[in-house]
Amino acid sequence: MTKKTIRDIDVHGKRVLVRVDFNVPLEPNTGAIADDSRIRESLPTIKYLLDNKARVILCSHLGRPKAREKESSLAPMAHRLSQLLGQEVKMADDCIGTAVEQLATNLREGEVLLLENLRFHAAEEKNDPVFAQALARLADVFVNDAFGTAHRAHASTEGVTHYLPSVAGFLIEKELEVMGKALDNPDRPFTAIAGGAKISDKIDVLENILDKVDSLLIAGGMAATFLKALKYDMGQSLVENEKVGTAQQLMDKAAARGVRLLLPQDVVVADRFDAQANSKVVAIASVPAGWYVMDIGPKTIDMFETELRKSKTIIWNGPIGVFEFAQFRQGTQAIASVLASLNATTIIGGGSTAESIQEMGLVDKMTHVSTGGGASLTFLEGKTLPAIAALMDK
């Protein structure tokens, strides 16, 4: 970890602005918090600050509100955090302005204030310097602990660092150390599992990771483009025809570097893209015209499991099948169960892969489940995370 963390600065009595990621899923009907994992992940940083007599000011976004709307308020997060901390979390009506500055000034040591949704202001995503300065006026120090937004240069992630001493919280430290070790100094054999719908979303990840892994398992919708490159007919499945050549180049690169690149041998197909579709298992050479590839088949599950059981480090990003439909979850669930049983370093990229692990109740069985989908992708691509780069170096 080359960046300073909250351990490296004196926070006693200071007003500390902490960028957290409370962009949590809500129940559609009630607005209640459906999964508080991201709030829980912020607790080590918040508790450390409270234990060290800081005055804690939290800020976050929630969703993509078009205006100030009640359903996008962070009030439920303040209530939940109060329960988790066992103390009151004060809630501001806004995130900038004279009234908010007064609330921040009046905070006592060991108290917590949560600001209202940053994205009620369009200036947040525009990284507007005036908005960033308004946030900075609330505090003496800035701590970024929102890994899920680290790939974005917004006012509350990058802009504010120009006006306050800025360091990382414990969650960002953990994310960077776990994934950094996996990419730079993994226990071997090192295997990556790449799923998800489109190869175009993962090209940079695949390019970067092929220089590091011993084996690469390709599944999800993107496998159809690889199989198309091998002249298989994929029926009605989404094939990115303009990326077939890219898929072939990646397979050639893997072969040249001695990386075992494994593609599905059999698949579950459906007669329509629907939760209630008729389905069957076929070999990849026998996908019926007009049918959709929805999941990997049992032979492929066995092949992938054999490879994974040899591995000492595994990174997984992207669902194996159409996980949102119950009958096409078997591949994702099987791979998750295998990883949960291994004596290996198992790292789950954020986004929908993390959601599936959470739904299965296997988070505690993995070495690390990332809180950031886009951020973890950017990190796996080997690219700079602007919100991390902006923090002070050790």
Dihedrals φ, ψ of 267, to 5°? -140, 160
Cα-based distances in Å from 181 to 104, 131, 307, 314: 38, 36, 21, 12
Q: Which of 3, 14, 19, 38 is catalytic?
A: 38
Whether 198 is a known active-site residue: answer yes
Q: Which two tokens stand for residue 165?
A: 């001493």
- Bridge partners for 240 per DSSP: none
Alpha-carbon distance 277 to 271, whole Å? 6
Alpha-carbon distance 195 to 294, whole Å? 12
Dihedrals φ, ψ of 357, to 5°? -65, -40
Q: Which two tokens stand for residue 45?
A: 């940083």
Q: Which two tokens stand for residue 255?
A: 């072969």
Q: Which of 198, 260, 312, 365 is catalytic?
A: 198
Whether 180 is a known active-site residue: answer no
Cα-based distances in Å from 372 to 110, 160, 173, 199, 369: 28, 21, 13, 19, 9
Helix (H, G, I), strand (E, B) or coil at 309: helix
Alpha-carbon distance 202 to 367, whole Å? 23
Q: Which of 220, 297, 350, 351 is catalytic?
A: 351
- Report the Cα–Cα distance between both ends of the chain, in Å, rounded: 8
- Bridge partners for 16 per DSSP: 56, 141
Whether 220 is a known active-site residue: answer no
Alpha-carbon distance 326 to 268, whole Å? 13
Point out the residues that are catalytic. 38, 198, 351, 374
